[in-house]
Each structure stands twice: as structure tokens, then as C-alpha cells.
Structure 1
Amino acid sequence: MPIASRLNQFINHKGLICQQIHHARSLSFAQALEQAQAIPEMSAVTVTLLDEEGPAVAVIPFGTKLDIELINDSLGRSFQILSDENSRKLFKDCETGMYPILATAYGLPIILDTSLLELEFVFSASGCSSTLLKIPGPSFRMAMNGAIKAKVSIWLAGEEPKSGSGQKVSNLPHNAGLTLDGIAKKLSRLYKLPPMPETAIRIMHLTSDPDADVFQLAEVIERDPSLASQVMRYARSALFSYRGELTCVKDAVNIVLGFDRVSQLSMGLAAGKAFNIPAAGPLGLKSFWQHSLYSAVLAQALALLADPDIELNERDAYLAGLLHNFGILLVGHLFPPEFQMLNKLREAEPELSMAEIEQQVFGMGGAQEFIALGHASIGAVLLKLWGMPESSITVAGMHQKKDYQGKHQKYVELVQLANALLAAKGIGDEPALHDCEKLMQGLGIQEEQGMALLDSLLEQCQSLDEMIRQMAA
């Protein structure tokens, strides 16, 4: 019996290379694999889904179970798995249980498990109980171009199969060949990036003007009531122990905070208003701003403890700490479904690094290559396009890289140290990635001083939590 007619038309129309393997008639896909002497670890199956928004198909490795709860939570859907009988209504020219993974032929959206993307070839049902399809990797990836891609299955045996090289099948590789400028150009061409908010631009211009004064800065901030409120809360926090009365932003700047600190804080907070992401979850706005503000305060304080010969500027250290994770905001802004999955996976697997989590989530169509780069690279691109200082751009791009050597290396190490110290206290978006003792030695900071500083600042930073809640609201 030939393969399903709609599937055959789709393959011919797309110009896909597929080998048909004929075998004795089978009662199930598992039996078909055995009859055709196909490799189970190179095989994929369809799971048909339905909710009130319509049907879809999950394509997962043979021998795995679909994580339906993860899909529903991440995509905001309420899918249920259809029976074979109901699935047949979607694949009308296919025999029961022999539904092909190339479900686009039937007008069905696909949710693809990323573990299939690097296989040399994939075995699939063809709609016929006596024929299998063997699809080469390039043709398979071309056919899956518009699918939602994420890690959505669980291996029943508890361990993923290995590729022919003996290495575990992994997700798509990073775009290692792209430069920061190349990524920026491509990202700008394909997506509408958020412009820097006007208030942030005005503040940035003031910071580069040697004649700018406190009164001009206060005037810009006061035009934005929510920003003015946040600056006032910051000035009244336990970080500064000021017990006098502050009646306006001008007082907060002039008496407590100073021009440099307020300009950096305000620029970061104003820039953050360009994004719209959820408040909840380990990557949501509340956690994001807590991590960013605590990192900024700690990085600045550590810069003052560091060896003076390194010549770290506390103002640059504060801004680098504040902006280093802005890639998270851009991912959430440009790719909401993928961000939901990242947020869910981050919560479910707290022991993994963000890089490992990000490699489990790829995205729809062209988004996958940018998600695969990771939030660090994407954040560096954004800060570059916005004209932020080079030290902040480098820190954003390299804050996850161990043993980084290059320009602004000490600022990278400074923020890595702040992140590692905070991670040990349960603050941040990933476990401690770096050796605190080694980083302290490299910065000329005594370990006892660093730990004492951390405990002191954490106690003081708790007074910022109400301000953080307002920012995330």
C-alpha cells in the first residue's frame, strides 16, 4: 500500500528527500520498526492534542512520554491527548496508529522535542501499516522549520539514547561564528527591537555632559512620577541610613545619593520600562529587579574593596551590575511563548545553569537561533544598540563565561563574584557558576571582608523589596 496521499503531496511539494521502507503489515508502530529493522532510537512518533483553541501535534522520540503538563503550563493551553480513534479524524487518509510526524501536511501545528533535531535521520510512520519513512536530518529540519521547539518529553527508561559518536544527543549548537555586530544586524532586521525610552535617553545625555548638574537630573526624573517615586524610596532605604526629611528628588540626589549613583540607577530603571514581561516566576520582573538591584549594589561595594591598582570605577561597576541581565527582558519581550517555557523550566530545574535551560528551549521558526545564543549574548546586543558603555556591554555578554580574559575583564569578574555570592543566598536566576575564592583573589579582596560585606548589604537591601514590588506591578 502506498504512503498516505496528502503526505506524499506534501513531500513532493516541499522537495523533501524521504526513503520509503516497505515491510510486512504491522499492527503497531513498534512492530513496524521491528519488521523494517529500523533503529528505535532514531524514530519519532506523533501525539495528537486538542483544546478549545484547536488541535496540534507533538512530535517526540519513540520510547518517551509527552510532558503534557509542561506544554500546557508553558504555552497557556489546556491540551488533552486524543485517542487513536479521534486522531484518525485529523489524519483521514492514514491507517489507525500510523500517523506521520510531518503533520504540517494536514494543516496541524507541531510542538517538536528538540532532542530530535541533531539526528542523522528520523524514522516515521507514513500513514500505511506496511511502509516506514526514513527522513534524512536536513530534510527533517526543513520540514520542522515552523514548529515550536522545546524539550517536551521524558525518557521512560530514565536516560536519553546516545548518538553514533557515543555522545548524548544534544540541542542545536550555538551560532558561534556570529560576531556581536552580526547578531545585532540580524536581530534588528528580523525583529522590532524596543527603542530606549525617552527618559533613559535624556539621562544618558546628561551623564555624558560635563556641565550637567543635579537640578537638571532631578527635573528629568520628576517628569516620570513612577521613576521619581522609586528614586525617593531608594534614597530612604537602609542602604544610606539617612534619617532626615527628603521632600523631593532634588534633595534625594543632592543630600543622599549623588549625581552618579542616581543617574545610573534612573537610567537602568527607565530603560527597563521598554519591556513587558510577567512579574511572577524565577525569571519574572520581581525576581529580575531584585537580582539586578542587589547585583548593582554589591558590585559597587566590591569595587571599593578591590585592589586600587586595578582601578575599578564604582559608577561603572554599579551600572554593569544593574544591566548585566537585560537579555532576560529582551527574550521575554520578543519571544513570549519561549519565555514562558524558560520560566517554567527554570523553576523545575533549579540546579541547572541558565545556558543549559536555554538550550532546552528554541522557539518558533527563525527565533530558535537567537534563543540558542542565550540571554547573555542577546543582552549585549541590546546594550550595544542602545549605546551603553562598553564595560556594561562586555559584562552582559560575558557574565556567564568562566575564566574570561579580555577587555573589561575585571568588571566581568566583579559581576560574576556578585552573582556567585548572591546565588549562595538563593538570589538570582541560576546556581553559583564561579569560584568565589578565586574571583576574590583576582580582584585583591580578602575573603572575610567580602563575606562580611555580603551579609551587611543583604540586610540593608531588604529595605528595597517594597520598591521592587512596585517596579514589578
Structure 2
Amino acid sequence: MNLPDSVRSYLDRQRFPYILIPYPANEALEQVGEKLDIPTRRIVRAVLLQDANGLLMAILPYSHILDFSLLCQLRELEPEPLYGNEALQFFQGRGCKGDSRPPLPAAFGLPALVDSSLPGEGELYFESGSGDSLIRMASRDFGSLLDQARWGQFSIPAEDLDFLTNQQTLTPQNLTSLTNRYTPTPARAGLESITELPAVPKTVQELLALQADPARSIQEVLRLAEQDASRAAQLVYWARAPLHGFNGAVDSLATAVERVLGPEKALALLIGSSMAQTFRMPVGGPVGLQAVWQHSIYCATLVGELVKLLPEPLGVNPGLAYLSGLLHDFGYLVLAQVLPARFYLLNRFLTVNRQVPINDAERHVMGVDHEHIGAWLMQSWNLPEEVYSAVRWHHGEDSTHPHAAYSNLVLIANRLLHYVGLGEEHNNRLPALAMFTLGLTREQALTAVGQVHASMAELENLCAVLPLPEES
């Protein structure tokens, strides 16, 4: 619970009493609040913004989302959020640990806007910068720290999303006006513009046909892999990762496919990277190109480790399970291409409203979930039913469809990835029914995470060398 020097020295100078409350470093702030019985309206959060005058900090309750129309009126300029990595770099460059963002603008030399919905009585709680503790302070004292800031109303309760995402109110006619209000710039695309999906490329057709052929040979896989030198090099690079436990030298594509990866995993990587090349999407942001690819690679790898622990009677195909993990979030690539303006807004909404569950944000801004669109893509491109099911149901905890093992594996992997900083921020609880039906124990699941954690350097390198769609 060591506070950053910038935070500690600032608070010492202000001489207001405060108490440090510890919490596990890998727990989301929302879960910490639940365990400590702290109402989210009493948890303060900071959002970094920038406009023509530079950086500024918006301060509001954890329970609220930004209203950009009101924010622009207060500032008289149109602020834009800093993307996750930029905001992280700002705070970490000033000694903060993990993703902790103390709402103390004066400590960092920033001007501030403070939402008037912050409680004026009682106590408030906020991140200390240590990554494993909250600061508890009297509301009046915290308000005194912000006496140089500009106060006003620029947020609404996040619970209002229940109304905004209601199927009766979320019509094409009013979706644009709602989106304009709670996102930085106007959206022009609507759900009605999704009339068709991109055609499946010839390379992907060939790979999928080979993947579906039980009589395929290693030579056929090698032939397709050799058609693209960069992808062939990636397979060799990936095969060299210690995660595979191969002790010999991987000095050729044939060795990588035949002796290390196997044809199924090699095909999965080729299919995933080839499919991604079909789409254009922004690089940055919580659901931008880099984040989606990184999460996909980690998820597929963890699914692969979990499959090794499954009882044989389940009959899960390791290659299809790996492919399911790799493609489960490809709905984002579709949304980025067919609704680019609205996807741009979703990225920014998630950047400044990290406390809102991503599915709620998608329904609010896009009017559709990425798993629905992703499943549509899988069906349209004739991917295996196992992969379709995983993409469609990977957020469902009570899946009982014929291929539920695949969606359950992806669901569990997504929850477990929280332990390496890439999972569902709002829910890292392992789904009991999915764990039971797969015959997995918590200890086994954590062992699989440990394997992935030990290979993070290789996984990061793989994320960097895989071919990615061009930025739109």
C-alpha cells in the first residue's frame, strides 16, 4: 500500500485526514466496492481528457457516465478522451501502479471539471495510486481539494442505461440522438445500414475447406501456409515458444507444423490472421485492433491449455477449441467495418466509462452485441458449428446447446484472463455450471493461467508479429 510520491506529498501538504483501505491488486474496483459495501455513488473516478488547451481531468462518481453535450457546454470546447494506453502512461509515469487513477488533479498539475452529483456529505472513496488500496476521506475535505476546479453537471447515472438499452426505446430513430449525447461526436450510421457482410476471401475459403476435410494431409497445410511468406514465418515463430514444450530446434515450416503445432492449430492461426486481413478497424482503444488481437491470442492460448485438462469423454476438438478462442471477438471487426462512425464512438465511450459493462455499452452505442454480429459472420462464412456456438454464446453462463463445451471454454478463459490483466473487468468469477460440466476445478483453471502467465513475453511478441488489418 505504498502511495506514489506525488500523491503522498500532495496529501501531506493539504493536511486533510484520510484512511487507506487495502484490497487485492487483481480485483476490479466494482468488486472491491461490493465486498466493502461501498455504494458506487461514493466511489470517485477520474477520466483524462484533452482539448485545444491541453490535458484536463474530469471527476465524477463511479456510478455515473459522461454526458458529452453538457461537458462541452461547461468547457466551451469539445474534449476528447485519452485512450487507455495514453491514460495509463500518464498515471504510471507519475508513480501510480497498475491501472490506478487517483482523482487528484492538483497533484498532477491538471485543471479539472468536477461533476456536481458527487455527494457533499459523508465519506468518499477513490483510488490511491498504489494499485492495492482505496483512500477514504470526508466528502467536505475532498471537495476542498477541488476548490480551484470548475463544478457543474456533466453526467447521468449509469443505471439509466437500463432505460436507454430497452428494446422498446432503443429504436433507429432515437439511437442517434442518444449516442450523440453520451459520446464525443455525432454518429451517422445505424443498425439499418448492416445489410450484408464482407464476402469471404478466397484464401479463407481454401483454409476453411481444408480445415473441414478430415482426410487432409500435412502437405496440404504446408502448401497453403507457404503461399504467404509472412504467415509461414509467424507459424515458425509461434512454434518456437516454450509454451509448446518442444525441446528441439524449430528451423523450418515443416517442423513447426508437423512436430510442434500440429495441423489443426496451424490452420487455426492461418484462418484467424487471414480473416482479420479482410476488415479495417481503428488500432487504438479498448476494443481497437491491438486490444482485440491481443485478447484473442491470449484467449486461444488459454483455451488450448484448458483443453489439455478436460476428461476425454467430452470429445472436444483441440483445434476447433483454439480457433473458437481466436475468433470469439471477431464481431468487433465486423462492427468496425460496417458501422465505423458508431464503432468510433463505442471506443471512446468505453475509454471514459470503464465502469460500464462492455455489453451494456455496446447495446447503448451500437444497438447490437458483438457476439450476435460475430455469430452472423461465422454462419455466413460457413465456419464449423462449434466455432459459431462459441462466438454466439461465450458470455452465457447457462449454455446447454449441443456445442456448449466450446462456448464454456471461451467463457472460462475470458474470466481467467483477468489474472493477467486482460479479462472481464467487471466479472472475474469462474462460472460454476460451466466449470462443472467441463469437469474442471478451480485449481486446474489457475494452473492453466499460470502456464499462460509464464509465456506472456512470447505471447506479446506473437501479438506484435501477426498481420493486422490496416487502420481505417
Matched, 1:417 2:412: yes
Distance in structure 1 (CA, Å) of the matches to 2:416 and 2:180: 30
Of the three residues 347, 352, 357, the one matched with 2:351 is 347
**Conserved in 2, the CA contact under 8 Å of 1:115 and 1:151?**
no
8 Å contact from structure 1 (residues 289, 468) kept in 2? yes
Q: Which residue is equivalent to 1:464?
A: 459
The aligned runs of 1:128-207 (5 Å cut-off) are: 144=173, 147=176, 149-150=178-179, 152-153=181-182, 190-191=195-196, 193-207=197-211
The answer for the alignment partner of 1:384 in structure 2 is 379
List gaps (5 residues or longer) in structure 2.
1-51, 53-66, 84-160, 184-190
Equivalent residue letter for 1:208: A
Residue aligned with 1:388, SS = coil
* CA deviation vs aligned residue, 1:82-134 (integer Å, no higher than 9, x gap): xxxxxxxxxxxxxxxxxxxxxxxxxxxxxxx99789899xxxxxxxxxxxxxx
Q: Secondary structure at the match of 2:417?
A: helix
State the match for 2:255 in structure 1.
Answer: 251
Q: Which residue of 2 aligns with 1:322?
A: 326
Over 3 Å counting, the alpha-carbon distance change for 1:71 and 1:379 in structure 2 is farther
- Are the equivalent residues in 2 in contact too, given 1:199–1:221 (CA < 8 A)? no
User: Could you tell me which residue of structure 1 aligns to residue 309 of structure 2?
Assistant: 305
8 Å CA contact 2:324, 2:391 repeated in 1? yes
Aligned residue identity for 1:73 = E
Please give the alpha-carbon distance, in whole angstroms, between the structure 2 residues aligned to 1:187 and 1:399.
Answer: 26
Any residues of structure 2 matched to 1:5-44 within 5 Å, and which? none
Deviation at 1:73, TM superposition (A): 3.5
Which whole-Å CA distance do the structure 1 matches of 2:167 and 2:335 have between them? 27
Check conservation: 2:222, 2:253, Cα contact below 8 A.
yes
Would the alpha carbon gap of residues 117 and 388 (structure 1) be closer, same or farther in structure 2, given more than 3 Å must change?
closer
Q: 2:403 aligns with which of 408, 415, 418?
A: 408
Residue identity in the other structure for 1:354? I
Give the structure 2 partner of residue 432 of structure 1. 427
Task: Report the CA distance between 1:254 and its aligned residue.
Answer: 1.5
1:398 to 393, 399, 422: 393
**Structure 1 residue 334, shift from structure 2 partner:** 1.1
| Aligned residue number for residue 455 of structure 1 | 450
Maintained 8 Å contact 2:304/2:318: yes
Instruction: Quote the Cα distance in structure 1 between the aligned partners of 2:341 and 2:331.
Output: 16
Q: Which runs of 5+ in 1 are unaligned?
A: 1-50, 52-62, 77-112, 121-136, 155-174, 176-185, 362-370
Q: Is the 8 A contact 1:424 1:431 kept in 2?
A: no
Report the residue type matching 2:277 in the other structure: K
Whether the aligned pair in 1 keeps the contact of 2:235 and 2:253 (CA below 8 Å) is yes
**Contact between 1:287 and 1:428, CA under 8 Å: does it hold in 2?**
no
Following the alignment from structure 1 to structure 2, what is the Cα–Cα distance between the partners of residues 407 and 118? 30
CA distance in 2, matches of 1:254, 1:225: 18
**Structure 2 counterpart SS, 1:239:** helix
CA deviation map 1:121-175 (0-9, x unaligned): xxxxxxxxxxxxxxxx99xx78x57946416359xxxxxxxxxxxxxxxxxxxx9
Structure 1 residue matching 2:231: 3-state secondary structure: helix
Alignment of 1:287-306 (within 5 A): 287-306=291-310
Correspondence 1:73 to 2:80: yes
Please say if residues 283 and 429 of structure 1, whose CA atoms lie closer than 8 Å, have aligned partners that are also in contact. no
Question: In structure 1, how many angstroms separate the alpha carbons of the residues matched to 2:79 and 2:305?
Answer: 43
| Distance in 1 between residues matched to 2:395 and 2:447, nearest whole Å | 25
Structure 1 distance, partners of 2:166, 2:294, is: 38
Do the aligned partners of 1:423 and 1:431 also contact (CA within 8 Å) in 2? no
CA RMSD of aligned residues (A): 3.5
Aligned length: 316
Which is greater in Rg?
1
SS, match of residue 244 in structure 2: coil
Contact residue 291 and residue 427 of structure 1 kept, 8 A: yes
Partner Cα distance (2:165, 2:465) in 1: 42
Over 3 Å counting, the alpha-carbon distance change for 1:212 and 1:187 in structure 2 is farther
Task: Give me the whole-angstrom Cα distance separating, in 1, the residues matched to 2:424 and 2:401.
Answer: 25
Aligned to 2:436: 441
1:226 paired residue number: 230
CA drift of 1:315 comes to 1.9
Partners of 1:438 and 1:352 in 2: how far apart? 25
Cα deviation code 1:403-462 (max 9, x no counterpart): 223221222211110110012432046533653455323321122121122112222143
AA of the residue aligned to 1:407: P
**Aligned partner of 2:259: which letter?**
I
Residue 275 of structure 1: how far off its partner (Å) = 0.8
Contact 2:300 2:323 in 1 (8 A): yes
User: What is the CA distance between 1:330 and its match in structure 2?
Assistant: 0.6
Mean Cα deviation higher: 299-308 or 321-330: 299-308
Matched residues in 1 for 2:419 and 2:446: separation? 11
Q: CA deviation at 1:342?
A: 1.4
- Once the two structures are superposed, residues 32-87 of structure 1 have per-residue CA deviations (whole angstroms, 9 ceiling, x without a partner) of xxxxxxxxxxxxxxxxxxx9xxxxxxxxxxx995243997638x9xxxxxxxxxxx
Aligned to 2:270, the other structure's residue is in SS state: helix
Q: Secondary structure at the match of 1:266?
A: helix
Within the candidate set 220, 240, 255, 1:216 is matched to 220
TM-score by length of 1: 0.59
Match of 2:151 in 1: none
